[in-house]
Structure 1
Amino acid sequence: MKLSVVIVNYNVSYFLEQALLSVQKAARGLEVEVWVVDNNSVDGSVEMVRRRFPEVRLIANQENVGFSRANNQAIRQSTGEYVLLLNPDTVLEEDTLAKCCRFMDEHPDAGGLGIKMVDGQGTFLPESKRGLPTPRVAFYKVFGLSALFPRSRRFGRYHLGFLSADETHEVEVLSGAFMVLRRSVLDQIGLLDEDYFMYGEDIDLSYRITLAGYKNYYFPETRIIHYKGESTKRTSLNYVFVFYRAMIIFARKHFSGRHAGIFALLINLAIYLRAGMAVVGRLVKKAMMPLFDSATIYVGMYFLKTYWEENHKWVPGRYPPSYMEIAVPAYIAIWLLSVYFTGGYDRPYRTGNVVRGTAIGTVLISAISNFLDAFRYSKALIVLGGTWATIALLGIRLAAQWLRYRTWTLGERPDKRTVVVGNQQEGRRVWQLLRETNPKADILGYVVPKRAAHPEAGGPLPERTRTAAAPAGTSVVSEVPTEAAERDEGYLGEIRQLREIVEIYKVGEVVFCSKDVSAQQIIAWMSAIGGRVLDYKIVPDDTNYVIGSSSRTSQGDLYTVDVTLDIIQPKNLRNKRVFDLLSSLVMLFLLPVLVWFVKHPSGFVRNLFRVLFGQRSWVGFSRPRSRQLPHLRQGILSPLMGPLHRHYDEATLRRVDQLYAKNYRVSTDLNLVLSHFRWLGRHEQSA
């Protein structure tokens, strides 16, 4: 066996499927075995691998054992001369594995090999090549000097910015996202250190390779797409703590006592700086709109109060200071909470949600004020205030809509103009699917990957397409468009004209069909088209979902071209949780009476507190681990409730769950809870 590919997966089924498809293509002509180690995913990853890739050797762990331990499980059982550690959120070029094996054969001093990685927009990822994070290098990184002077030999050592990204170099640290290792070296230095649960293990292993007298190489003659840590959510605070704690483990293991202490101090400082900045940034981002709304309403209420005092107040005089200090802030809080729960802060903003929220808030304020004599002020000011709140909130959202989308119509989010790249059959299939999924989307048509000559190969292209030629070095392997395709309403042209098509039609998104367009060509076009900010997506072979990422600093994302599910709407998710919370509080208050009406009283009490604290929901899917459905809290009841001894087949469960998700309303949960109240003490739906 020449090469063993090891992929550790955790809850990224769609990305894993795309990665395995790309590995299949890259493995042609080579002796390759593929291992997938699943760390107890709940998104159907294991089922997907067994169904679609029966040749893959699968290890299904019953718990998340961490990245290092999971890799070691497969490495110990594998037999390849070389071992490739590969992230599941990657796409390989068709020649990647062959070129890497050839390089390792030609360089017996190479213990490890990394390659050029690009993000979902084709932008080079600097972590493709890194230096050893010594205390000095860590200091420059933590305090931003490496970012300010990325090409400096002194300050830019973390990502080795002074070394060309297009040339082969000896480097100190390789990325665990794609890391080719020589088995004989692993036998000598040992496998991944399992003290690292996640992150840092690639640095540790790279360093041990160099200590053993071997070299790590950066090899840019082949590339992969890396969707930047999709399976670990790098924007989370947990990532900050786990990553930097891994650096401390590395320092204590490999540095002297004094250097390790300095390094640990810097890392701890970095942890709290990054964590603090992340928390503040999130709070500011989330609070910006409500704070602006509050300030605008408050200023308007002040002028309304002044006007009413001077012109219409029944008893002459000023309102007491408590009106502006206590009453108005309370009014604003009620208005904004009402707007929040009616979806007034959900994007795209909708006029009806804002008007409904302020109207409900105005009624609540009027009702509550009747019971508070000390704070009972003019009803007219409450009505005028509600009117002003409606106008102000709508005006703020109209301004935000204009700044972002250049339109004054709320509820409209202008869709990016999209083109699909694929041959006539697949390109038209994806084009039609996208149109049917979102009829308002601006799906222009499809571009066929016709075989075209390259300027470098001799023979100039026609003048009108010369500047739009395919990037040098790419292979075009799909069909020549037929006359029927050229007459098709969705046909836009050939891939060599893609640059022109993007410019002429002001395209904002390009969707590649990997069945017809090679990964090499996709990456080349992503990297070559300049001058416009484009989103790139990929449709894996014979699938109905689309994968992509808009920048190297954002996570990978996907959207399916299946039916739209109401349950994933922010408003419905929020209302579902509110229903669980309020119903649990009511049941808790009536507990002495309700326990007589349930079949398992002790289980009912247990479930009540689980739902109250957000561990469970009263209603969940019948099949909690389905990859076709969004993640919800595990339910006590399911949409398909009946006698407990009745067993339904998988197809029935799947259809009922899909109908529940597609047409979700809070009333659905209410009806299920009332109809099957006696079963609220049962064990939740098994996964």
Structure 2
Amino acid sequence: MKLSIVIVNYNVRYFLEQCLHAVQKASTSIETEIFVVDNNSVDGSVHMVREKFPTVHLIENHGNKGFSKANNQAIRQAKGDYILLLNPDTLVEEDCFVKCLDFMDNHPEAGGLGVPMIDGKGRFLPESKRGLPTPEVAFYKILGLARLFSHSPRFARYHMGHLDKNQTHEVDVLAGAFMLLRHAVLEKTGLLDEDYFMYGEDIDLSYRITQAGFKNYYFAGTTIIHYKGESTKKGSINYVKIFYQAMSIFAGKHFSKGRAGMFSFLINLAIYFRALLALTSRLAKVLAFPAIDALMLYSGFLWLLPYWEQHKYTPDYYPPAFLGIVVPIYILIWLSAIGLSKAYAKPIQMKKLAKGILWGSIGILIFHSLADESLRFSRALILLGTVWAFISLLSYRYLLRQSQSFKDLFERKHKKRVMLVASEEEAQRISQLLKQSLSKIKVAGRIQPNRQPATAMALGNLDQIREAIRIHNIEELIFSAIDLPSQQIINLMLELSATKVDFKIAPPQSHSIIGSSSIDTAGDLYVVHLNAITKEHNQQNKRLLDFLLSLFFLCSYPILCWTIKQKKGFFNNIWQVIGSSKSWVGYSCYSDIQQKLPKIKPGILSPVDMLDENLSEEKKQEINMVYAKNYSILQDVEIIVHAWKNLGR
């Protein structure tokens, strides 16, 4: 066996599917075995691998074992001369493995190899080549000197910024997202250190490889896409803590006592500093709009009060308590109503804001009628304040939405303009997926996936792609993985990375379209919605029906119980539905196949109860799928009426 590929998966089913398609293409001329180690995913990953990739060796863990332990499980079974540790959120070129193995065969001193990685927008990921994080190197990175002097051999050593990313180099540390290892070397160094749950194990193993007398290489002969942040969400304080604690473990094992102490001090300093920055940033993001709203509303009353006093009464007619107590209460009611209307949730929607202001004004009028006489003032000021709230809060949001810096915070004014790079047949399939994904998208047309003269059904060919993007104001390109090899897709992404377009890839025979818009955010994707049941208003209606029926059943229980087969079960079910742990209607059973369907609460009844006959499991799943796809609240009512006697199940 030449190559063993190990992929550790945790809840990234669609990315894993694309990764495996690419891996199989890249393995056609090599004797290869593929392992997927699943760390107890709940997104249907295991079923997908079994169904679509039956030749893959699947290891199912009944718990999250962590990255090191999961990799070691497969490595111990691997028979290949080389072991490739590969992230599930990656995409390799078709000749990636051939080139890498050829390099390793011709460089017997090489113990491990990494490759250039780009993110979903075609931008080079600096962690593709790294230096050993000594206390000095870590200090420069923490202070920001590595970023400031990004090409300095001294200050930028953490990402080896002084080395040309387009040339092959010897490096200190390989990235765990793509880590090709010589099996014979692992027998000398040992496997991944299981003291590391996540992060740091790649640094530790890279260091042990060099200590054993071998070299690590950054091989520039091929490039992979790494949807950074998808297999591990890297924006959280928890990530910062886990990552830097892993660095402390590394220092304690491999540095002298004095250097390890200094390193740990720097690491703890970094944790608290980054945590403070993250907390401050998060609070600022959460409180920014409510704080501005409060300021705008209070400023309005400061201006309205003298005007109204002069127009209707006399100056200083209202006591200080009005501005000091009553107006802050008004503002608090408005902000609460705006928050409950989800007008602060992203993307920000103007109609939700207007709804929140209106409900807030009604709440203020109720407060006015119930408050103590000393806190009641003119209703006219409440109405004037409402007018001011509508004008001021809507206006400044409208101005922010016009700014390029803030437009991503708001609901899109228009559908995203997308262009497909695909054959006519595949373009039709992708367009249908986009339609079923319920995303706000307009397909402007397709680019022919070759350089031949474009047909009448295409906007142009690959040579004309830049011009087509400009002319048609394209915001996103979707590449067909059937019509274009991974290598060509990656080259096009690199070529167009300077443009403002986003990129996505439609894997073959998949119900997903995958991409990533930012180096700092999780990859996003379009997934087919078989599930009208997942629409927000359907979920709300279903829950409302459950709750109202439960109240009715509870009040009428002494009478209704005589019409139900299992009276005690009926009473227990009422409370479980009220407590939201069950629904009156759900799917007929909970098998592996059901993982394809959107998640809903377990049901007492199911659509199958409409049919008084024995059905096969396959037929039941078909009925479940129709129920999810074409959900209506009347359907639930019909099922309950038809299967009334079984409500005590």
User: TM class by shorter-chain length?
Assistant: 0.7 to 0.9
Residue 461 of structure 2 is aligned with which of 480, 487, 494?
494
Q: 1:353 to 1:424 in 2, by over 3 A?
A: same
Q: 1:655 to 1:51 in 2, by over 3 A?
A: same
Name the SS for the 1:492 alignment partner.
coil
Kindly state the Cα deviation for residue 438 of structure 1 after the two structures are TM-superposed: 6.2
Q: Is 1:178 aligned to residue 178 of structure 2?
A: yes
The answer on whether the counterparts of 1:629 and 1:658 sit within 8 Å (CA) in structure 2 is no
Distance of 1:56 and 1:549 partners within structure 2: 26
Counterparts of residues 89-128 of structure 1 (less than 5 Å): 89-128=89-128
Residue 365 of structure 1 corresponds to: 364
Q: 1:620 to 1:384 in 2, by over 3 A?
A: farther
Q: Is 1:131 aligned to residue 131 of structure 2?
A: yes
Residue 468 of structure 1 corresponds to: none
Counterparts of residues 347-358 of structure 1 (less than 5 Å): 347=346, 349-358=348-357
Kindly state the Cα deviation for residue 295 of structure 1 after the two structures are TM-superposed: 1.0
Residue 342 of structure 1 corresponds to: 341
Kindly state the Cα deviation for residue 434 of structure 1 after the two structures are TM-superposed: 3.4
Distance of 1:619 and 1:277 partners within structure 2: 46
Distance of 2:406 and 2:246 partners within structure 1: 45
Q: 1:179 to 1:354 in 2, by over 3 A?
A: same
The answer on whether the counterparts of 1:639 and 1:657 sit within 8 Å (CA) in structure 2 is no
Q: Is 1:510 aligned to residue 477 of structure 2?
A: yes
The answer on whether the counterparts of 1:348 and 1:413 sit within 8 Å (CA) in structure 2 is no
Residue 523 of structure 1 is aligned with which of 481, 490, 497?
490
The answer on whether the counterparts of 2:83 and 2:182 sit within 8 Å (CA) in structure 1 is yes
Q: Is 1:652 aligned to residue 623 of structure 2?
A: yes
Residue 422 of structure 2 corresponds to: 422
Identify the range of structure 1 (363-372 vs 134-143) with the bigger mean alpha-carbon deviation: 363-372
Residue 215 of structure 1 corresponds to: 215
Counterparts of residues 587-626 of structure 1 (less than 5 Å): 599=569, 622=587
Residue 543 of structure 1 is aligned with which of 510, 526, 540?
510
Q: Is 1:163 aligned to residue 130 of structure 2?
A: no
Counterparts of residues 16-415 of structure 1 (less than 5 Å): 16-313=16-313, 317-347=316-346, 349-373=348-372, 374-404=374-404, 412-415=412-415
Distance of 1:9 and 1:559 partners within structure 2: 20
Kindly state the Cα deviation for residue 505 of structure 1 after the two structures are TM-superposed: 2.4
Aligned length: 631
Kindly state the Cα deviation for residue 318 of structure 1 after the two structures are TM-superposed: 2.6
The answer on whether the counterparts of 2:115 and 2:220 sit within 8 Å (CA) in structure 1 is yes
Question: Aligned partner of 1:650: which letter?
Answer: Q
Residue 441 of structure 1 corresponds to: 441
Cα deviation, 1:466-518, whole Å, max 9, x if unaligned, reads xxxxxxxxxxxxxx57xxx7122xx1111122122223323221110010101
Q: 1:568 to 1:54 in 2, by over 3 A?
A: same
Identify the range of structure 1 (89-98 vs 599-608) with the bigger mean alpha-carbon deviation: 599-608
Name the SS for the 1:442 alignment partner.
strand
Identify the range of structure 1 (598-607 vs 554-563) with the bigger mean alpha-carbon deviation: 598-607
Distance of 1:577 and 1:383 partners within structure 2: 37
The answer on whether the counterparts of 1:515 and 1:541 sit within 8 Å (CA) in structure 2 is yes
The percentage of aligned residue pairs carrying the same residue is: 46
Q: 1:538 to 1:216 in 2, by over 3 A?
A: same
Cα deviation, 1:235-289, whole Å, max 9, x if unaligned, reads 1222111111111111111111111111111111111111221121122112211
Name the SS for the 2:220 alignment partner.
strand
Cα deviation, 1:80-106, whole Å, max 9, x if unaligned, reads 010000000000000001111111111
Distance of 1:102 and 1:201 partners within structure 2: 26
Residue 523 of structure 2 corresponds to: 556
Question: Aligned partner of 2:403: which letter?
Answer: L
Kindly state the Cα deviation for residue 367 of structure 1 after the two structures are TM-superposed: 1.3
Distance of 1:619 and 1:282 partners within structure 2: 39
The answer on whether the counterparts of 1:68 and 1:194 sit within 8 Å (CA) in structure 2 is yes
Name the SS for the 1:217 alignment partner.
strand
Distance of 2:360 and 2:446 partners within structure 1: 49
Kindly state the Cα deviation for residue 73 of structure 1 after the two structures are TM-superposed: 0.6
Name the SS for the 1:546 alignment partner.
strand
Q: 1:252 to 1:679 in 2, by over 3 A?
A: farther
Distance of 1:92 and 1:360 partners within structure 2: 53
Residue 15 of structure 2 corresponds to: 15
The answer on whether the counterparts of 1:340 and 1:357 sit within 8 Å (CA) in structure 2 is yes
The answer on whether the counterparts of 1:420 and 1:446 sit within 8 Å (CA) in structure 2 is yes
Cα deviation, 1:198-255, whole Å, max 9, x if unaligned, reads 1111011101111111111110110100001302211122211111111111111111
Q: 1:272 to 1:601 in 2, by over 3 A?
A: farther
Name the SS for the 1:486 alignment partner.
coil
Q: 1:187 to 1:412 in 2, by over 3 A?
A: closer
The answer on whether the counterparts of 2:230 and 2:522 sit within 8 Å (CA) in structure 1 is yes
Distance of 1:555 and 1:143 partners within structure 2: 26
Distance of 2:604 and 2:237 partners within structure 1: 33
Distance of 1:386 and 1:566 partners within structure 2: 37
The answer on whether the counterparts of 1:3 and 1:33 sit within 8 Å (CA) in structure 2 is yes
Q: 1:676 to 1:138 in 2, by over 3 A?
A: farther
Kindly state the Cα deviation for residue 669 of structure 1 after the two structures are TM-superposed: 10
Name the SS for the 2:5 alignment partner.
strand
The answer on whether the counterparts of 1:598 and 1:680 sit within 8 Å (CA) in structure 2 is no
Distance of 2:292 and 2:641 partners within structure 1: 41
Distance of 2:256 and 2:596 partners within structure 1: 51
Unmatched tracts of structure 1, length 5 or more: 453-479, 683-687
Question: Aligned partner of 1:333: which letter?
Answer: L
Question: Aligned partner of 1:354: which letter?
Answer: L
The answer on whether the counterparts of 1:618 and 1:673 sit within 8 Å (CA) in structure 2 is no
The answer on whether the counterparts of 2:86 and 2:176 sit within 8 Å (CA) in structure 1 is yes
Name the SS for the 1:512 alignment partner.
strand
Cα deviation, 1:14-70, whole Å, max 9, x if unaligned, reads 000000000011001110100000000000000000000001010111111111101
Question: Aligned partner of 1:386: which letter?
Answer: T
Unmatched tracts of structure 2, length 5 or more: 562-566
The answer on whether the counterparts of 1:568 and 1:630 sit within 8 Å (CA) in structure 2 is no
Name the SS for the 2:416 alignment partner.
coil
Q: 1:237 to 1:537 in 2, by over 3 A?
A: same
Q: 1:115 to 1:273 in 2, by over 3 A?
A: same
The answer on whether the counterparts of 1:435 and 1:443 sit within 8 Å (CA) in structure 2 is no
Q: 1:184 to 1:423 in 2, by over 3 A?
A: same
Name the SS for the 1:196 alignment partner.
coil
- Scaled by the length of structure 2, the TM-score of the pair is 0.87
Kindly state the Cα deviation for residue 577 of structure 1 after the two structures are TM-superposed: 13
Cα deviation, 1:169-198, whole Å, max 9, x if unaligned, reads 111100010000111111111111111111
Cα deviation, 1:623-649, whole Å, max 9, x if unaligned, reads 5985545667x6686876969x99972
